[in-house]
Structure 1
Amino acid sequence: MDIIDVHTHFVPSGWPELGEGLPWLRLDSEREAMIMVGSQPFRRIGRECWSAEDRLADMDADGVQIQVVSPTPVFFSYDLPGSEAAKISRIFNDLALEICSPAPERLLPFAQVPLQDPDAACRELSRCQEMGHRGVEIGNHVGDRDLDDAGVVTFLQHAADIGMPVFVHPWDMPDSPRLQRWMARWLTGMPAETHLSVISMILGGTFDRVPDSLRICFAHGGGSFAFWLGRFENAWHRRPDIIATSQQPPSAYVGRFSVDSVVFDPAALRLLIDTVGIEQVMVGSDYPYPLGERPVADVVRRSTFLDSAERELVMGANARRFLGLDNNVQNSHAVDIGDNETGIGRGDQAVLSF
């Protein structure tokens, strides 16, 4: 059974210098590098982050036919002025096309946008669609602005209008001494941030303001949403003076969004499917990072409660619908970025910052 993996990340092997204090790449060997933010190490990565050859070999080993290739959130640059973030988005979006170009039918690039500037974000998304990107990854918040912010809603409306699916990924989690042990920011902060982003779209009225045609997926199984929907629903009914800002109760919006399957345990996957519906769950792995799932879709394979038809939906059919692969929702374009705005053309060597 072919698998479509909707949650993976890339990092180019180099990029033009972005500026002081911004991410750069320290190449330690032909196969390893360190993402640096200013003078601080951020994450060690391997060649599979930028090599289509390595990605395809791992995909073949795991039975993955198609992989969505999304940015690594550290590059979102939402804290910069919109014009600077737009430039960074163009750089990484064009490099994403380079990385995916050896296998355009199997490696589907998702763009990033300067979400702090809705007009610039809409322009960049339209440009990326024309260049061959198949969707967009956004962070779950921009500073203190959640996904019900008017500017974010404008962007989501534009994504729906042009038929580009949206993948929401948590980033910039809260930090404190209590969260610096045991990778607690990733173990508790990421699920909480994702849950909060779903809540903001429901209670903030985003789903009431965007069309049903918006295809949006939340990473990491939607965080803790599935486990706490009952508490969420209870609060909406019992404290309407505070909670009931949406037109309908929270359960009414189930079905308006998808989630990936990166929950690792069959019992968790069963709760997720029971809560959001079998047609709203798609395989995701968080490849190639250490907290991801390998082999891809292992939890789906181990979930004996799924019958063959249900497993087929989660493995690939739901993702085909989300990505528009069966009805040509996405425009098809040849990848040619020789005249792109970043000045990096095919075959050119990106300038590394050390």
Structure 2
Amino acid sequence: MNIIDIHSHFFPKTWPNLEAKFGGGDWPWLRHLSSEKNEQGYAKAMLMKGQQEFRPIYSACWDAQVRLEQLDQQGVSHQIISATPILFAYEKPVEQALYCAQIFNDAALELCAQGQNRLFAMAQVPLQDIDAACQEASRAINSGHVGIQIGNHVGDKNMDDEGVLTFLQHCAAENIPVFVHPWDMMAADRTKKYMMGWTVGMPAESQLSIVSMILGGGFDRVSRDLKICFAHGGGSFAFLLGRLENAWLHRDIARGHSQHPPSSYLDRFYLDSAVFDHDALQLLVQKMGVSKLMFGTDYPFPLGEQEMGQLIKTAPYLTEENKQAMLASNAHQFFDLPV
């Protein structure tokens, strides 16, 4: 069975010292832990943000051979890699964010070049400046990327922001797939314990991004040619769609700028399958349909799917045809992959 993982992350093994180049003390960098190995025997590193430890990672992030070994162990045919949002630099001046986008986009292609035609990359863009974002998106696609990953907001600007919609229309016009990843989560002070920023904040951000596209009129204004996918199964969107629909039907102020009820837009976007629960996946299938779901793991992080593909493979409500569509066929079509 062909399996394509659309949601995985990477870091280069090294990159230029951004603090030395631009100043400021909060730039990401890797502190390699040469004397330490993880439980599988792979080299470890600590991702730093300035002098603060951000998260531990291991060599699958930067070593194509390690990645391929693990894909073989899990029976995954191909994988699409993308930057972790800490690398976005949306809060920085545009020239700094563009520099970061270009070095990390080029590094992603270098990693894929070692991937024996099994790895593909999505690029990042300096989304705080729409002209620069559009130019880098076009450059990246022409260089070999298969799509663009963006964060779900830029500061307090949601997905219905005028500039973001202009960028999405550019992607629609150039047939560039877009993957929306939550980041810089809301209520940071209240969710800083127990990894609630990831378990609560990220799903909430994913739901917010979809709802803002609907109620902000984004889907009404952007071409239907836009190919857009939201991470983490859309967060809590599917479960709370009934609440959203009820509000739209009975309160004028809840309709925003959308021309139709929220359920009318379910054919406008895709979701990945990173929900880790058969009941949740079944709800996504019921709401979105098999054709709008793609396999994603969030590899190689601890909160990703540890047995890659098993959620879909063992779902009793899916036919073999359904499983193949979600595991590979939909992704092949969405990203126009040469495999």
Question: TM over 0.5: same fold?
Answer: yes
- Any idea what SS the aligned residue of 1:245 has? coil
Q: Which residue of 2 aligns with 1:180?
A: 192
Moved more, 237-246 or 33-42: 237-246
Rounded to whole Å, the distance in 2 between the matches of 1:266 and 1:284 is 15
Structure 2 residue matching 1:146: 3-state secondary structure: coil
Shift of 1:325: 2.5
1:322 aligns with: 334
- Equivalent residue of 1:13, what SS? coil
- CA–CA distance in structure 1, aligned partners of residues 152 and 29 of structure 2: 23
1:126 aligned to 95, 113, 138, which one? Answer: 138
Q: Which amino acid aligns with 1:206?
A: G
Deviation of 1:265 (Å) = 0.9
Contact 1:237 1:244 in 2 (8 A): no
Identity over the aligned pairs, expressed in percent?
Answer: 51
Aligned residue among 73, 78, 89 for 1:77: 89
| Residue type at the aligned position of 2:336 | G
Assess if the C-alpha contact under 8 Å between 1:137 and 1:166 holds in 2: yes
What letter corresponds to residue 205 of structure 2 in structure 1?
Answer: E
**SS of corresponding position for 1:180:** coil
Q: Give how far 1:177 is off.
A: 4.4
Structure 1 residue 222 corresponds to structure 2 residue 234? yes
Task: Name the structure with the higher helix share.
Answer: 2
Counterpart in the other structure of 1:9: 9
Matched ranges for 1:30-41 at <5 A = 31-41=43-53
Match of 1:28 among 11, 26, 33: 33
Write the distance in 1 (CA, Å) between the matches of 2:89 and 2:256. 33
TM-score (norm 1): 0.90
Give the secondary-structure state (helix, strand or coil) at the position aligned to 1:179: coil
Q: Distance in 1 between matches of 2:254 and 2:188?
A: 29
Paired with 2:258 and 2:192, the residues of 1 have a C-alpha distance of 35
| 1:39-58 matches, cutoff 5 A | 39-58=51-70
TM-score (normalised: structure 2)? 0.94
Larger displacement relative to structure 2 (19-28 or 269-278): 19-28
Do the aligned partners of residues 151 and 244 (structure 1) sit closer, same or farther apart at CA in structure 2, a change above 3 Å counting?
Answer: closer
Contact 2:32 2:45 in 1 (8 A): yes
The equivalent of 2:321 in structure 1 is 309
User: Separation in 1 of the partners of 2:208 and 2:333?
Assistant: 26
Equivalence for 2:106: 94
Aligned residues: 327
Deviation, 1:105, is 2.5
Which deviations, in whole Å up to 9, do the C-alpha atoms of 1:39-65 show, x marking residues without a partner? 100011100000110111111111111
In the alignment, what sits opposite 1:105? 117
**Match among 265, 269, 273 for residue 277 of structure 2:** 265
Q: Which residue of 1 aligns with 2:261?
A: 249
Contact 2:122-2:149 at 8 Å conserved across structures: yes
Aligned to 2:40: none
- Which structure 1 residue ranges, 5 or more long, are not aligned? 329-354
Instruction: Confirm or deny: 8 A CA contact 1:153 1:210 kept in the other structure.
Output: yes
Query: Which residue of the partner structure matches residue 135 of structure 1?
Result: 147
Residue from 268, 286, 292 that aligns with 1:280: 292
Q: Does the CA-based 8 Å contact 1:68-1:109 persist in structure 2?
A: yes
- 8 Å Cα contact 2:146/2:337 also seen in 1: no
Q: Distance in 1 between matches of 2:59 and 2:74?
A: 18
Q: Given that residues 51 and 99 in structure 1 are in contact (C-alpha distance below 8 angstroms), is that contact kept between their aligned partners in structure 2?
A: yes
Distance apart, 1:104 and its partner CA? 5.7
Matched residue of 1:133: which SS? coil
* 1:308 CA drift (Å): 0.9
Contact 1:261 1:281 in 2 (8 A): yes
One-letter amino acid of the counterpart of residue 5, structure 1: D
Shift >6 Å, 4+ stretches = none
1:169 aligns with 181
- Farther-moved stretch of structure 1 (24-33 vs 85-94): 24-33
Question: How far off its partner does 1:178 sit?
Answer: 3.2
Amino acid at match of 1:297: G
**Partner SS, residue 293 of structure 1:** coil
Per-residue deviation, 1:318: 0.7
CA apart distance, 1:84 = 1.0
Per-residue deviation, 1:102: 1.4
